[in-house]
Amino acid sequence: MEKNGHYKGITAALASALFLGIAPVFGKQAILFGYSPLALVTLRTGLATLFLAVFMLLWSRKFFYIFPVGLLGCAIAGVVNGIGSIFYYTALSRLDTSVAQLLYSFYPVFLGLWLLLDRQTIQKITIIRLLIALPGTYLLISAAENKVDLVGAFFMVTAAILYALHLLINQRILYEAPAQTVTFYTLLVMTITVTAAYLIFDRTMPGLGTPFWPIVGMALITVFSRLALFMGVKRLGGLQTALIGLGELVITVALSQIWLGERLSLLQWIGAILICVNIVMIGFDKPTIEKRKSTGMLGWLNPPKISPSELPWQSHS
């Protein structure tokens, strides 16, 4: 049963990587159509939350239940990732899609640092995979032909740091809360965060004739990718899910070449192969069993001890 859950976690993480790899291409297309970064992230996140809310109202109302500390954790994660999304799409407007995603791919490194600060264990094989992934990422970035915008690069690295922190926070909540519940409340607070930023700093929208399909596509991708992401985090832990998620990098780079006409050098393709090796090695990397922890910087973020029969998604499923 435990092995079956492990494989389900791998499948979910790979699905998340697939969806997340497509999202930047849609995002860049929307920016090229004339959407500002703040308008883009607000419409994308708001629609994603609406889609998920309608689905849950019609078919999964039991997943609206969440314990108070879990709601607080989702709120913190939503604010953190909401701000990170603003940095991400602002950076995407200044960088080539492939370069932007390459820089973003450093988030497993930052997640590892957050885990150490939170006093969590990192296995040796996980460190080896990280050491394989880093040179691959370096080759992808260093061999770029076009000069990288430094402000955009700084914004993208900031987005990666915040994304890693939100994964760590959600990992705590996912100890007992279902992925659907965590996804909805995190997206809800993200929507509030980015909408507030849009109303304060932007308020611009392209003309009525501007194509809207990239926004709808991104919203659907956001829902599916988040559900898959948190299912992966729940079964594998944040760091392993993030390492598998580096596969999104290869997907984004490939689509950027086909769709947006971007090109990679031989060294960059070698880097992409190293990223793929890291993904293959997931079969040798066993997840650390998640336990209640009262230590670390997030030691306070533990759900209450509740009997499974008291949880609506257990007792009525």
Q: What is the pLDDT of residues 232-266, one digit of tens each?
A: 666 666 566 666 656 666 677 777 777 766 666 77
pLDDT digits (tens, 9 = 90+) for 72-93: 888 999 999 999 999 999 999 9
Q: Is the pLDDT confidence value at 138 over 60?
A: yes
The one-letter amino acid code at 54 reads V
Q: pLDDT for 88-136, tens place per residue?
A: 999 999 988 877 877 787 777 777 777 777 666 666 777 777 777 778 7
Residues in contact with 164: Cβ distance below 8 Å, sequence separation at least 6, in sequence order? 107, 108, 110, 111, 113, 114, 238, 242
Does the pLDDT of residue 306 top 60, yes or no? no
Percentage of the residues of the chain whose pLDDT score is greater than 70:
65
Instruction: State the average pLDDT over residues 181-188.
Output: 90
Q: Closest by alpha carbon to 108, among 92, 91, 89, 128?
A: 128
Q: How far apart are CA 55 and CA 215, in angstroms?
A: 19
Burial (CB count within 10 angstroms: exposed 0-12, middle 13-18, buried 19+), residue 55: middle
Between 236 and 194, the higher pLDDT residue:
194
Mean pLDDT of the chain: 77
Domain that holds residue 77: 2-315
Mean pLDDT for the stretch of residues 192-207: 93
Which of 257, 196, 154 is CA-nearest to residue 45? 196
Q: How far apart are CA 63 and CA 181, in angstroms?
A: 5
What average pLDDT score do residues 267-274 get? 76
Higher-pLDDT residue of 269, 57: 57
Q: Exposure string (b/e) for 200-218, b if CB count within 10 Å is 16 or more?
A: eeeeeeeeeeeeeebbbbb
The pLDDT of residue 207 is 83
pTM of the model: 0.77
Q: Are 240 and 126 in contact (CB under 8 A)?
A: yes
Phi, psi of 18 (to 5 degrees): -60, -50
How far is residue 136's CA from residue 72's CA, in Å, rounded to a whole number? 37
- Give the C-alpha separation, 105 to 258, whole Å: 20
How large is the average pLDDT for residues 23-42?
Answer: 92
Contacts of 171 (CB under 8 A, 6+ apart): 233, 237, 238, 290
- Please state, for a pLDDT cut of 90, what percent of the chain lies above it: 24
Tell me the range of 18-22, 44-48, 66-70, 235-239 where mean pLDDT is highest. 44-48
Instruction: Provide the number of structural domains found in the chain.
Output: 1
- Per-residue pLDDT, 139: 75
